[in-house]
Amino acid sequence: MIESWRWYGPFDRIALDEIAQTGASGIVTAMHEIPSGEVWPRETIAARKSEIEAAGFDWVVVESLPVHERIKRGDGDLEPLFDSYRQSLANLAAEGIRTVCYNFMPLLDWTRTDLAAPVRRGGTCLRFSAPRMAAFEVHMLGRAEAEDDYPADVLRAASAWFEGSDETERETLLASIMAGLPGAFDRYDVDGLKQNLALYKGIDADTLRANFARFLTEVVPTAEELGMRLCVHPDDPPRDILGLPRIVSDAEDLAHVLGSVESPANGLTLCSGSLGANPANDVPAIAARFADRIHFAHLRNVAKEPDGSFEEAAHLEGDTDMVALVRVLLDEEARRRTEGRADAEIPFRPDHGQELLSDAARGTHPGYPLVGRLRGLAELRGVVRALSHSGAAHA
């Protein structure tokens, strides 16, 4: 497996020479400064790649080449947006970058209600509180249908939190929910969020699936021609929020997406944390079912609660059997090697580390601290090495 590290380029407060000390060999990054829908120029890609290689790394995965919101909504003449996406793929391939992670989550990427929830024995982590999310939707956003999306006990807890909160706490909640938008993208205030949610009015899960299928039909053939691999990231959290449908949340969703265009170029980013937040998901079993379409892996863990809340656990703690999951990925690599494939190794990265020790003072992107991810990488490295020793991956 290829040890990699997410780097936000000019937006990142962690430098490449610091990442080198983690032992990772691959960089996962994107051109976050380029607005969604615009072409990534080849010369800009080449400059970023040269910077990465000069620091001793390979640029192994693009995360993410964003899908424009109009494509997700099926809104207007989309051909120029499809053309831009295809051209960006061609420019990446021309520079030798062939694995592209993306998502099809409407409006927001990953969503959390707390960016610094306390962790036992010190440190902080990202957390999704179902009551706080309900408080935001019902009491701050005023979404009329939101009460139908949460059980009564969560709604009661949401009302209690809202009534006991002050304006600063409510602003912090809004900022936390907006924090999943990377790079230079704008954050929304409550009115701005309402306006953008209104653009999705009438778009249900079936409509979103149809729009996703159209996107894949438009871009997967180009990816095939270029020898590229597209790999969709699951929904985070894996449930409908803000009245927006989520359609990449469980095994059947994945089967629908991967089956809509049968091609190795239509693949999966196996995110153990996103899938693991759904109580119905057996993550190692999902990985085994779709192993031949996994082109990239995010390895992290979550601890779930009965009311739908969850938080980021240490990589070898939480609810997902990380050893069993890594065994599935190693077995898939072994299968690929028997086929003589040059791309047998699967890039992975430690995802969403806890903030530990000096992390809090650095002000890095939420969920992407240095020390916390270094701990995760070290633990995952140990699992990979132990399972690989004497063929244990095939036991």
pLDDT tens, residue by residue, 271-284? 999 999 999 999 99
* Alpha-carbon 304 to chain mean position: 18
Angstrom distances, CA of residue 16 to CA of 19, 189, 214, 380: 5, 33, 38, 21
| 271 is an active site residue | yes
Residues 6+ apart with CB under 8 A from 164: none
Domain with CATH 3.20.20.150 in the chain: 2-109+202-394
Query: pLDDT by residue (tens digit) across 181-237?
Result: 654 456 788 999 999 999 999 999 999 999 999 999 999 999 999 999 999 999 999
Alpha-carbon gap, residue 25 to 14, rounded angstroms:
16
The answer to whether domain 2-109+202-394 has CATH 2.40.10.10 is: no
Residues with Cβ < 8 Å from 293, sequence gap 6 or more? 258, 264, 266, 267, 268
Tell me the average pLDDT across 38-50.
98
Query: Out of 125, 271, 295, 359, which one is annotated catalytic?
Result: 271
Determine whether 233 is an active site residue.
Answer: yes
* Active-site residue, 298 included: yes
Catalytic residue among 85, 125, 352, 359: 352
pLDDT band, very low/low/confident/very high, at 328 (cuts 50, 70, 90): very high
| Mean pLDDT taken over the chain | 95
> For 81-101, what is the mean pLDDT?
98
pLDDT digits (tens, 9 = 90+) for 261-316: 999 999 999 999 999 999 999 999 999 999 999 999 999 999 999 999 999 999 99
Active-site annotation holder among 68, 102, 231, 233: 233
Q: What is the pLDDT of residue 220?
A: 98
Structure confidence at residue 394 as a pLDDT band (50, 70, 90): low
Stretch 335-346: mean pLDDT: 95
* Cβ atoms of residues 76 and 212 within 8 Å: no
The region that residue 185 occupies, defined by phi over 0 for left and psi between -120 and 50 for alpha, beta otherwise, is beta
Which pLDDT does position 395 carry in this prediction?
46
Can you give the pTM of this predicted structure?
0.95
Give the pLDDT of residue 144: 85
* Model pLDDT for residues 131-163, shown as the tens digit of each residue: 999 999 999 999 989 999 999 999 999 999 999
Q: Which member of 114, 298, 315, 359 is catalytic?
A: 298
